[in-house]
A = this chain, B = another copy of it.
Amino acid sequence: MHRAGYLESPTMAYETWGELNEARDNAILIFSGLSPSAHASSSAEDLSDGWWEEMIGPGLALDSDRFHIICVNSLGSCFGSTGPASVNPETGEVYRLTFPVLTLEDIAEAAYGVVRALGIEQLHTVIGCSMGGMSGLAFCVRHPEAARNLISISSATRAEPFSIAVRSLQREMIRSDPKWLLGNYEPSDPPLTGQRLARKLGMMSYRSPEEWIQRFGRQRTTATEENVNDPFKVAFSVEAYLENHANKFSGGFDPNCYLYLSRASDLFDLAEHGGSLKSGFKRLQLQRALVIGVTTDILFPLHQQQELAEGMSAACFDTKLVELDCIRGHDSFLVDMDAFRPVICDFFEGDCE
């Protein structure tokens, strides 16, 4: 691992769409944000909708008729790739907190292993969203020969203190839940309360105050039988919205995996590759880069997109910065497809809408 320790024969989960051509030069690798799986889109093997369903497919912005598209589940996650919830083959026990410190460099290396195992020397493009954008930077900085192009979506060269504070508090909410048991919770009885709180803070950082003014304002909910005598019950629509999202998400993600991936997002710093941001950018050997950011993003704010684009331009390859005026904040790349699709389509010179 990048900091210390090692993993005994880790497993990587990935999914693919479209065929690798004979020249083996049409592959696209996607790094997801913190929480998604490798199931970015539906396929013959899994018909359920993926997290980027409207982006990937025949004739879509990521056109599976033209490209061989690969999405990996990040190392350290809990959807098939080895992580803190996996069994350590050396001990027969679940890793839990004995998992080594995870970094985005490790996530990048593990994905590089997948790419090589698929017989791909050089990717057409690496795409990374949010945390995945930093994983993509780590990939390109460590293996400059392994990709021609990079698309960074709502990401950064490194986290700023506000984002570190958000994630630190999310982790503390989980670790403060008595059911966390220092990471030794029963899988059937996880620290759900802490996870629910952390998810709510997550939603507050993923969306934008402007969206909520439009969407909820000061609209009230109707009291249900069960909460009618609670003076602090959910009373405003925005509270009900957070409650719904927290309940939906929290059961599905392993808390220890979440903690490791969250901390890995804090730790990444492009400047560690060469001693400064400038030298980090210089290590990239790309032909083209596309940086997309959103005006209302409070977790990876617009000035960080500008820093990325300026750094890449200064490193002398063709870089385009697109600032999208979406209202749904950091999450826009997941929910505002009409804004993102044409930009990505254009990058690949496709003719999708």
Contact = CB atoms under 8 A, between A and B. Distances in A.
Interface of A: 97, 101, 158-162, 164-166, 168-169, 171-173, 175-178, 193, 197, 200-201, 204, 209, 212-213, 215-218, 231-232, 234-239, 242, 259-260, 263, 266, 269, 298, 301
A169 B231 contact: no
B213 A160 contact: yes
A165 B208 CA distance: 12
Nearest to A219: B161
Copies of the chain in the assembly: 2
A259 B233 CA distance: 11
Contact of A164 (B162, B193, B200, B239): B239
Contacts of A197: 169, 172-173, 176, 197
A187 B113 CA distance: 57
A197 to B, nearest CB: 6
B169 A269 contact: no
Contacts of A234: 168
A200 B172 contact: yes
Contacts of A173: 173, 197
Closest 10 CB pairs of A and B: A162-B209, A161-B212, A161-B238, A161-B216, A168-B239, A176-B193, A169-B200, A164-B236, A165-B238, A171-B232
